[in-house]
Structure 1
Amino acid sequence: MKRRKFFKSTFKGALGATIFPLMGNSDSVDSSKSSPKNSVTSNNKFNPKEQWHQMGTGKKARPDRRKTLEYDVVIVGGGAAGMCAAVSASRNGAKVALIQDRPVLGGNSSSEIRVHLNGVNHLKDGKPERETGIIEEILLHNRFHNPQDSYPVWDHVLYDFVTKEKNLDLYLNTSALRAEMKGDLIESVYCWQLTTETEYTFKGKQFIDCSGDGLLGATAGAFYRTGREASSEFNEKYAPKEADGWQMGSTILLGSKNMGKPMPFEAPHFTKKYEADKSHKGRKLMPFELGFWWVELGSDDDIIGEFEDNKHALMGYAYGVWDYLKNSGKYPETENYALDWVSSLPGKRESRRFIGDYILSEPDLLNNVNFDDAVAYGGWSLDEHNPGGMLNLEEPPSYFHEKFDEVYQIPFRSLYSINVPNLLFAGRNISQTHIALSSSRIMATCALEGQAVGTAAALCIQKGVKPRKLGEKYINELQEQLLRDDAFIPNRPSNDKLDLVQKSNVMFASSTKSGNVKLLRDGVSRDFQDKEHHWESEELPATVQIEWDQKQSISKIEVKCDTNVKKNIMLRRDSLNNKTYSTEIPKELLKSLEAEVRVKGKWVKVASIEKNKTRLVKFDFDKIEITAIRIHLKETYGASSAKLFEVRAYS
């Protein structure tokens, strides 16, 4: 029965719809006692044109919920890429709007979907080359504030991290519906905020599409492509012989819990039977607690338009796999387990890929091409999922074509539109082929792209140029700013001419266990490709001292310490602790340190931190003329010695 008919035909429905007034505590209602004045049809004061009547205020017109706001940088999409873009743009001086169509940040890593925020942790030797910069700050923030590994708390860790930025305004539950153009430039983006019934128009100078599906860019007329390229187009050995429309699918994850007693399971009506006898051996059912990344559906057509249909099908497939585990009789270890969580929002992998001045392709990755305009890096394997997903059980769920020996570079030219001059993008929608996407789509890689385009957008505002011109004329400044902000660009050492430590005459330390104190100014802020770029003390406390022959005017000291980038610290649903993964605050991280400067022969303390939480430690103080700086390293979060990778000083 339809809901409206239900209300009309039942007494409880009448109460629920507030048709009759309730009389005290009586269980019955005498409709004959209703006042004729309560009849809408007899109320001469009622005006059908009045859509809103707020009692006690006299307001009768519906409030006009339309707002037009102006920003320097407008970012659509609040996943890993969008968050890092927003934070980096705001820290570099731009006024930023971050627009997210969900109630939480995090994209595929959020509590709604719960995908592990992987990055470069799939190299051939098994060792990570973990991302630093803003994404590492976020992961460290989580380690300090979410030791229980809760995904709902992770949502709020992200909210806390993003909203503390002074130049950044966050708009949740807000969908970007279309770009509004002025010539070939985006002038504004028209949005709808579901929870407040408010229409927003966000005007901006630079726009960044980190939404994945890329509706902002698409409605702006930005060129894009979907599907798989032919192998001949980019000389890709893992691409199909002929181009087709296949795009990697979306997945529904689930989680189960041991209840300590038998837990029977009855499949809901929408369940789709899992045909285990037809399934490739790569579709492993053990372990089962965290669900299965291969319960996915792709498309060779309109994967965005088909999303809701695919979602309903995926719900059936997910429950079908669980029904098989519980009721086939082949997995008695599931007897005491019950479903604890099932996602209602499939995690996406692929749809639109915009066209930039350069299209990143498989040979660029496999040949480790060095780009003059490199701004980010990746290294997850070429992980091309089975196009048919659950409709193609006979083939492996993913092909894992090849792992990398080392990380590859991502050029800035792949992060802005070829035909919409003020549009940048980061995430799975960047300018790349389907095969390149199979690696670079990993969230921490997308986050590095996000920091790059956020920084670029802020520099575009400062320089009064568009992204293409920034890349042509100011790429060195962009790269130097990223390196200063603790992003890492492989094979691109920093050479910041504003860094006064580069001009120092003497550097020494209280003791040395490994490395060399002079490596603190070599421009590489991690040990890389088996080469040392650090100094490590024998014990704690320890001191590093830097001196100049001539007086220097400084107000900033920046230190990059150790967080062990060879170990992953992302949130995992299984709270895994082993040689590769950790749920702990890195013991190598400096907890307590202070800075002194020498003024007229005397040492003066200018700054100290007692509970440091980041790899990049910044000391800011009033400008002062000095001849030396001294950094005292007092305590880590558990290591008996301290390791530094870089020290900088600025006027």
Structure 2
Amino acid sequence: MKRRDFFKKGSKAAVVAGILPLATSSCATQKNIATSTNKDKWHHLGKGEIGLSNRIKEATYEVVVVGGGAAGICAAVASARNGAKTVLIQDRPMVGGNASSEMRVHLNGVNNIKGKAERESGLIEEILLQNRFNNEQESFPVFDHIMYDFVVREPNLTLMVNTQAIEAIMDGSKIKAAKCWQATTETLYTITGKVFIDCSGDGLLAATAGAEYRTGREGKDEFNESFAPEKADGWQMGSTLLMSSVDMGRPMKYSPPSFAFKYTHEGAHKRRRFANFQDGIWWIEVGSDDDIIADAEVNRQKLMGYLHGVWDYIKNSGNFPEAENQALDWVGSLPARRESRRFIGDYILSEKDMTEHKHFDDAVAFGGWSLDEHNPGGIENVSEPPSYFHYHFKSIYQFPFGSLYSKNISNLMFAGRNVSQTHIALSSSRIMATCALQGQAVGTAATICIQKKCSPREVREKHINALQEQLLRDDAFIPNRPANDENDLAKQVSAIFADSTSTGDVKNLTNGMSRDIDGQINHWKSKNAKAELQLEWDKPTTISKVEIKCDTNLKRNIMMRKDSRNDDLYGNGVPKEMLKSLSVEGRINGKWVILGTINQNKTRLIKFNFEAKKVTAIKINLKETYGAEKIKLFEVRCYT
């Protein structure tokens, strides 16, 4: 690939390799870190002591998750909620990864299938709903804290921020522990675990464990991929640096800093547009045809120069009079990365698996973002389009569990852009909400590994049904895989009925499909703003849990956007269809008894937990939505 050098450095600008490694790109090991403190001459005047406190510590967990982006958050929370003592290790001061305030990338998923969304449910849905309830101002720094709260509120989960997993300690083909460096406390941790999940994107822990991986683009023939290059090469999609501006209501001057590159739009591809430039320009990116991790600091400094060069062009070229009152109010300093290591699992997902909608018996997630391969040269190759939108999906595809664990490290799993797939497949599945579904899948699988004392491979071979059923119960969705949980007592009812029905059938609430999809109706909808639903058993049945999946309009996106878009495809508030208040009653010895009441529901998956009761019927009183005139449900389950 030829790159045209049309940028000119400012008089004082220079691009040099960073001297100090960033936590996100460091390849340090314990050999590079001082682990002995016996030479420290700290004189603590308050204690009258000389010497440094212990900065070498150990901790033990069942599941160790590395990387606190959307995938890692969902992996850790799924693991903790399903019973494993879990730690989440994150190298930044906040969680969220590319969606955090440091990078501010939209948390996209399956945004547009046939003109509608097919939104991801499960844990990522829960996070985005919490953001809509608690962040009406749509602040990215506040979103950081929404995601932080989502992690730290879990009683079985420990979060370690500013901490990088730098090296795996091995026991044969298993990871025994992770050496971790916490920069803010100057502490070296040894974190022991039974199952390790690398959701860090770059996968330093997995790489030091000896997990097999590859980088670059496969040649067309290896997987019969029509959109791959003729021959394999080293190119990886670039990292992007974003910015935002604000209208100050008066003319604002701009002078570029010394490190800016002079930008001209001469010879640029017609798809390199400046629309909505005030919210950032995603094609200000730089890739690599070699070691994109080692190149991280060089590329970061390039991107800072390119960003200011483009903004200088917008402000001072005279081609954008609408920018006269605009001023930068936020500029990123940490590029959002799209691609680096891809680890090898028992299955490598490829282009045709997606475009031909291959059915996988071990499917655990789904995707549907277009095959969106960014120009690997990025802004250094402006004559080419910024992205090749090779293929737009008309329906979602399955993602297999066999691509989410290591082929050669027996207790290692992955979720996110580092999973087992080709470069072309990555161009679709790299989207954060898709990565989050993978995260929920491997976090849930980790708990099965703990419970069954088995490896991820054995989960695939022996316990895949248990994994799929738990994911479906926890409101994940697997295409063409209806739930059939043998422990669900709602499937044993003698009758289920409602006081009114406008669309759907009340029997759909136990058919195992928790959304309307592919033209099939799987819901029940009332005629009125209030409704009652009743389940009957022939004999007294012991019940302690009732779980309901309500409507949050999965055909409309709710991720936070910089432009606060609000239309048929994107919503910037709480879905009006969502159920707000409801109660559950049980018929005990012929009398109705209140078992639980919720007045401010904030989740699609609504759970009632109560002391076990022998009932002959359950009545669900549906009282109010957040604005819809009728009430729609997709599933009801009951458990002991």
Q: Please give the TM-score of this superposition, normalised by the length of structure 1.
A: 0.92
Q: 1 CA distance for matches of 2:262 and 2:424?
A: 31
Q: 2 CA distance for matches of 1:565 and 1:301?
A: 40
Q: Does 1:570 align with 2:559?
A: yes
Q: 2:538 aligns with which of 549, 562, 583?
A: 549
Q: Does 1:104 align with 2:87?
A: no
Give the equivalent residue in structure 2 for 1:327.
316
Q: 1:65 aligns with which of 55, 61, 68?
A: 55
Q: By how many angstroms is 1:434 displaced? A: 0.1
Q: 2 CA distance for matches of 1:245 and 1:56?
A: 57
Q: 2 CA distance for matches of 1:170 and 1:572?
A: 27
**Per-residue displacement from partner, 1:256-314 (whole Å, max 9, x unpaired)?**
11111111111111111212012101110122111110000000000000000000000
Give the equivalent residue in structure 1 for 2:473.
484
**Per-residue displacement from partner, 1:461-497 (whole Å, max 9, x unpaired)?**
0011010001100000000000000000000000000
Q: How does 1:102-501 map to 2 (within 5 A)?
A: 102-123=92-113, 125-501=114-490
Q: 1 CA distance for matches of 2:288 and 2:112?
A: 27
Q: 1 CA distance for matches of 2:460 and 2:49?
A: 54
Give the equivalent residue in structure 1 for 2:511.
522
**Per-residue displacement from partner, 1:588-638 (whole Å, max 9, x unpaired)?**
111000000111111111001000000000000111111110000000101
**DSSP 3-state at the match of 2:262:** coil
Residue identity matched to 1:627: T
Residue identity matched to 2:408: N
**Per-residue displacement from partner, 1:7-35 (whole Å, max 9, x unpaired)?**
xxxxxxxxxxxxxxxxxxxxxxxxxxxxx
- The answer to whether the 8 A contact 1:362-1:436 is kept is yes
Q: 1 CA distance for matches of 2:182 and 2:425?
A: 34
Q: 2:77 aligns with which of 78, 82, 87?
A: 87
**Per-residue displacement from partner, 1:308-331 (whole Å, max 9, x unpaired)?**
000000011111111001111111
Give the equivalent residue in structure 2 for 1:600.
589
Q: By how many angstroms is 1:122 displaced? A: 3.2
Q: By how many angstroms is 1:408 displaced? A: 0.4
- The answer to whether the 8 A contact 2:496-2:507 is kept is yes
Q: 2 CA distance for matches of 1:334 and 1:49?
A: 57
Q: 2 CA distance for matches of 1:517 and 1:175?
A: 50
Q: 2 CA distance for matches of 1:101 and 1:541?
A: 48
**DSSP 3-state at the match of 1:322:** helix
Give the equivalent residue in structure 2 for 1:629.
618
Give the equivalent residue in structure 2 for 1:12.
none
Q: 2 CA distance for matches of 1:608 and 1:586?
A: 21
Q: 2 CA distance for matches of 1:506 and 1:313?
A: 66
Residue identity matched to 1:433: T
Q: By how many angstroms is 1:582 displaced? A: 0.8
Residue identity matched to 1:100: Q
Q: 2:66 aligns with which of 76, 81, 87?
A: 76
Q: 1 CA distance for matches of 2:539 and 2:51?
A: 71
- The answer to whether the 8 A contact 1:122-1:381 is kept is no
Give the equivalent residue in structure 1 for 2:629.
640
- The answer to whether the 8 A contact 2:182-2:188 is kept is yes
Q: 1 CA distance for matches of 2:529 and 2:566?
A: 27
Q: By how many angstroms is 1:50 displaced? A: 5.8
- The answer to whether the 8 A contact 2:112-2:118 is kept is no
Give the equivalent residue in structure 2 for 1:4.
none
Q: 2 CA distance for matches of 1:376 and 1:49?
A: 52
Q: 1 CA distance for matches of 2:502 and 2:636?
A: 18
Q: Please give the TM-score of this superposition, normalised by the length of structure 2.
A: 0.94
**Per-residue displacement from partner, 1:431-484 (whole Å, max 9, x unpaired)?**
000000000000000000000000000111001101000110000000000000
Aligned-CA RMSD value: 0.8
Q: 2 CA distance for matches of 1:282 and 1:49?
A: 59
Q: 2 CA distance for matches of 1:548 and 1:497?
A: 16
Q: 2 CA distance for matches of 1:287 and 1:130?
A: 24
Q: Does 1:53 align with 2:43?
A: yes
Structure 2 gaps of 5+ residues are 1-37
Q: 2 CA distance for matches of 1:329 and 1:50?
A: 59
Give the equivalent residue in structure 1 for 2:7.
none
Q: By how many angstroms is 1:217 displaced? A: 0.5
Give the equivalent residue in structure 2 for 1:37.
none
**DSSP 3-state at the match of 2:390:** coil
Residue identity matched to 1:533: N
- The answer to whether the 8 A contact 1:92-1:455 is kept is yes
Structure 1 gaps of 5+ residues are 1-47
Q: 1 CA distance for matches of 2:320 and 2:212?
A: 50
Q: 2 CA distance for matches of 1:484 and 1:286?
A: 42
Q: 1 CA distance for matches of 2:168 and 2:40?
A: 33
**DSSP 3-state at the match of 1:233:** helix
Q: 1 CA distance for matches of 2:40 and 2:378?
A: 53
Give the equivalent residue in structure 1 for 2:33.
none
- The answer to whether the 8 A contact 1:122-1:403 is kept is no
Q: 2 CA distance for matches of 1:50 and 1:417?
A: 41
Q: What is the total number of aligned residue pairs between the two structures?
A: 603
**Per-residue displacement from partner, 1:345-391 (whole Å, max 9, x unpaired)?**
00000000000000000000000011000000000000000010011
Q: By how many angstroms is 1:49 displaced? A: 5.7
- The answer to whether the 8 A contact 1:505-1:549 is kept is yes
Residue identity matched to 1:598: R
Q: 2 CA distance for matches of 1:256 and 1:62?
A: 46
Residue identity matched to 1:128: A
Q: By how many angstroms is 1:550 displaced? A: 1.5
Give the equivalent residue in structure 2 for 1:17.
none
**Per-residue displacement from partner, 1:186-214 (whole Å, max 9, x unpaired)?**
00000011111111111000000000000
**DSSP 3-state at the match of 1:345:** coil
Residue identity matched to 1:212: G
Residue identity matched to 2:317: S
Q: By how many angstroms is 1:541 displaced? A: 1.5
Q: 2 CA distance for matches of 1:81 and 1:202?
A: 20
Out of 258-267 and 437-446, give the one that drifted further.
258-267
Give the equivalent residue in structure 1 for 2:22.
none
Q: 2 CA distance for matches of 1:187 and 1:106?
A: 27
